[in-house]
């Protein structure tokens, strides 16, 4: 435990009574005193504040920045307007996914947010692709907070006037008490909300100011996971990894239209082939019929008892009020409504393929 890193909000987590766990090399809050259920439901009903400072933040600038980012990812960066953000993928030569990430156009530079567990490799990848026309910097002196839920805007607007003008996947700079913020209207819960990059030295005061707003409660990694699962969003390392492809994962939409024709990202050959011929397997949503959750690595069988795949994320969905799961099944078995059996503790639990998400997204699109 002694080699674990701490975020700038560590003391606040302790003060709030969080239960701390090791996660991606950091000591992170998995839950606070109210517990995962209350934190999850509170986010969907009002607003939740998440410390996601363990994630990797970087910037890329220069005349060749867009071309450099396009050489590594599936996004249309050249066509990404100022003040807009995209979800995209770092792919590998075999056509698998090395990480999923967000890229925002801040005008003079691009802001990149990557997963905590992948950030060392991701930063090396960015720095390896940098050159005369594309410079890379690591924002390791910034915290990252996510404020999510239907009351996120009313909580944030009085502190940071103007954030309400952002729409889903919009991005802009703001100033709070002399601290420069970079705010995007995005998140990982399926709810409306914001992710806010704040200089580490101001993070504590900013987080306290947010927690003082009506409806805002701290939320740990436990509810972050159940919220993203209900929203049908992939967790890197579980639902997607170096062996799964964008088409298998149902993330074709993260490959920009222009890039589908021109390629130019690692693994394009596999992408083009799977888009044309269909993948071998597909990620699907799964609802167990009963109350028992089926968790990651549970075997999936078809109604006839043949093995067709494996659960990659599964648990209890507090808003669904029942078990929910995602997993990969053979392409021929990936039919919405199809009956499945999930092998849990040597017993076959009846389940059904359903379309994702389990809880409708409530993004603020206009």
Partner 1 sequence: MSDTKFTEEHEWIRVEGGIGTIGITDYAQKQLGDVVYVELPEPGRKVEKGKDMAVVESVKAASEVYAPVSGEVVEINAKLKDEPATVNAAPMAGGWFVKIRLSDPKELEGLLSETAYRDFVRGLH
Decide: residue 287, CB within 10 A, 0-12 exposed, 13-18 middle, 19+ buried. middle
- Cα–Cα dist 145/187, whole Å: 10
- Cα–Cα dist 273/252, whole Å: 12
Q: State yes or no: residue 327 binds partner 1 (CB under 8 A).
A: no
Q: CB-wise, 40 or 151, nearer to partner 1? A: 40
Are the beta carbons of 221 and 21 closer than 8 angstroms?
A: yes
Q: CB-wise, 85 or 313, nearer to partner 1? A: 313
Q: Which residues contact 262 (CB under 8 A, 6 or more apart)?
A: none
Q: CB-wise, 267 or 315, nearer to partner 1? A: 315
Q: Which of residues 28-57 bind partner 1 (CB under 8 A)?
A: 30-31, 35-37, 40
Decide: residue 5, CB within 10 A, 0-12 exposed, 13-18 middle, 19+ buried. middle
Q: State yes or no: residue 24 binds partner 1 (CB under 8 A).
A: no
Q: CB-wise, 178 or 346, nearer to partner 1? A: 346
Are the beta carbons of 198 and 145 closer than 8 angstroms?
A: yes
- Cα–Cα dist 231/225, whole Å: 10
Q: How many residues bind partner 1 (CB under 8 A)?
A: 19
* 29 three-state secondary structure: strand
Q: State yes or no: residue 352 binds partner 1 (CB under 8 A).
A: no
Q: CB-wise, 176 or 316, nearer to partner 1? A: 316
Q: State yes or no: residue 318 binds partner 1 (CB under 8 A).
A: yes
Q: CB-wise, 30 or 272, nearer to partner 1? A: 30
Are the beta carbons of 230 and 190 closer than 8 angstroms?
A: yes
* 96 three-state secondary structure: coil
Give the residue, chosen from 315, 325, 333, 334, that forms a contact with partner 1 under the rule CB under 8 A.
Answer: 315
Q: CB-wise, 66 or 117, nearer to partner 1? A: 117
Decide: residue 28, CB within 10 A, 0-12 exposed, 13-18 middle, 19+ buried. buried
- With contacts defined by CB under 8 A, name the span among 45-53, 64-72, 222-230, 252-260 that binds partner 1: 222-230
Q: State yes or no: residue 316 binds partner 1 (CB under 8 A).
A: yes
Give the residue, chosen from 43, 53, 88, 226, that forms a contact with partner 1 under the rule CB under 8 A.
Answer: 226
Residue 116 CB, shortest distance to partner 1, in Å, is 18
- With contacts defined by CB under 8 A, name the span among 55-63, 95-103, 198-206, 290-298 that binds partner 1: 290-298
Angle between helices 36-45 and 221-230 (to 10 degrees): 60
Give residues in contact with partner 1 (CB under 8 A): 30-31, 35-37, 40, 222-223, 225-226, 291-293, 295, 315-316, 318, 323, 345
């Amino acid at each position: 435990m002694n080699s674990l890193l701490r975020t700038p909000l560590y003391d606040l987590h302790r003060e709030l009574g969080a239960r701390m766990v090791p996660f991606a090399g950091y000591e992170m809050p998995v839950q606070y005193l109210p517990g995962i259920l209350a934190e999850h439901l509170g986010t969907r009903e009002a607003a939740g504040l998440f410390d996601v400072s363990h994630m990797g933040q970087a910037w890329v600038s220069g005349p060749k920045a867009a071309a450099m980012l396009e050489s590594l990812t599936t996004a249309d960066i050249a066509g990404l307007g100022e003040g807009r953000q995209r979800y995209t993928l770092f792919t590998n030569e075999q056509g698998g996914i090395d990480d999923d990430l967000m890229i925002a156009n801040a005008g003079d530079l691009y802001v990149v947010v990557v997963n905590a567990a992948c950030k060392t490799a991701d930063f090396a990848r960015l720095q390896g692709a940098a050159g005369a026309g594309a410079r890379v910097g690591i924002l390791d002196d910034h915290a990252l907070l996510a404020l999510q839920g239907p009351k996120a805007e009313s909580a944030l607007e009085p502190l940071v006037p103007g954030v309400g003008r952002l729409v889903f996947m919009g991005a802009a700079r703001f100033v709070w008490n002399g601290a420069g913020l970079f705010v995007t209207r995005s998140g990982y819960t399926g709810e409306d909300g914001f992710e806010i990059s704040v200089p580490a030295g101001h993070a504590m005061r900013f987080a306290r100011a947010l927690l003082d707003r009506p409806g805002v409660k701290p939320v740990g990694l436990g509810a972050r996971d159940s919220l993203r699962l209900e929203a049908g969003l992939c967790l890197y390392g579980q639902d997607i990894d170096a062996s799964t492809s964008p088409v298998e994962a149902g993330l074709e939409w993260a490959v920009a239209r222009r890039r589908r024709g021109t390629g130019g990202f690692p693994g394009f050959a596999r992408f083009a082939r799977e888009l044309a011929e269909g993948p071998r397997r597909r990620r699907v949503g799964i609802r167990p019929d009963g109350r028992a959750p089926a968790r990651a690595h549970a075997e999936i069988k078809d109604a006839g008892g043949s093995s067709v795949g494996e659960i990659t994320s599964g648990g209890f969905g507090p808003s669904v009020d029942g078990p929910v799961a995602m997993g990969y099944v053979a392409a021929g078995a990936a039919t919405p409504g199809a009956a499945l059996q999930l092998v849990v503790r040597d017993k076959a639990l009846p389940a059904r393929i359903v379309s994702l998400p389990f809880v409708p997204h409530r993004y603020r699109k206009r």
